[in-house]
Amino acid sequence: MTETVLLERRDEIAVLTLNRPEKLNAWTHAMRERLIELLREADRDPDCRGVVLTGAGRAFCAGQDLEETAAIDPGDHAAAEAWIDDFDRLFRTVRELRKPTVAAVNGVVAGSGFQYALLADLRIGHPGVTMGQPEVASGIPSITGIWAMWGILGRAKTTELVLTARLVDAEEAQRLGLLTRLVPEDQVLDAAVAQARAIAELPPGAVALTKARLRELDDDALAEAVVAAKKIHADAYATGEPQREMARFLSGKRR
């Protein structure tokens, strides 16, 4: 059976790769569980001094696998809440890493995959990257997405991206601060590893305490976003609209 999350060690740097390239690394509950496990192992490992997040093939992560969420029963509020809890645990695991975390961003980065990329301390991409928050196009309210973008983009640009479902290209993403730096496509992973290693060479206590303070600045906002997401997603799934729109997408129909 193919591993959907791969762990590679490049000396003191752990590289975690989402590995469903045929699905643009759209993830499932099982993938997130495995990713959380590997992230926690990397954080505990004294020989690991930095973490790089990336995706196999032509995408970093296209977000949620819609085949999984399209099956949620409109009346099953517990399932909708459990789905949000899934992401809350993943997001907190990434944020709580004491070690520098760099996203090697390749190809498509969308939805919850986009939010996941924004959790990294830094993001290195290439000129072919497209990224954004197209969830409303699938009938899914963008709630944690608002939280993930707000600190980088502010109200005006966050509003534009969550309501239009527009993906931005790499040049715009860098200008907005969504990407830290652009390099040629074949250099993205090496550049991310080198960046993680450069931060890891700094005094680790100072790095960890600085990261902790950065996390504190918006931790309450994340907690509020998760509470809101549970209520709003339950309301949305109860209408059946997300299920209908996801079924439309999966059938190949376009609006």
pLDDT reported for residue 251? 65
Full-prediction pTM beyond 0.75?
yes
Q: Cβ(30)–Cβ(1) under 8 Å?
A: no
Residue 148 has pLDDT above 90, yes or no: yes
* pLDDT tens sequence across 92-129: 999 999 999 999 999 999 999 999 999 999 999 999 99
* pLDDT tens sequence across 155-196: 999 999 999 999 999 999 999 999 999 999 999 999 999 999
Work out the average pLDDT over 198-212: 96
pLDDT reported for residue 23? 94
Of 76-90, 139-153, 188-202, 207-221, give the lowest mean pLDDT range.
76-90
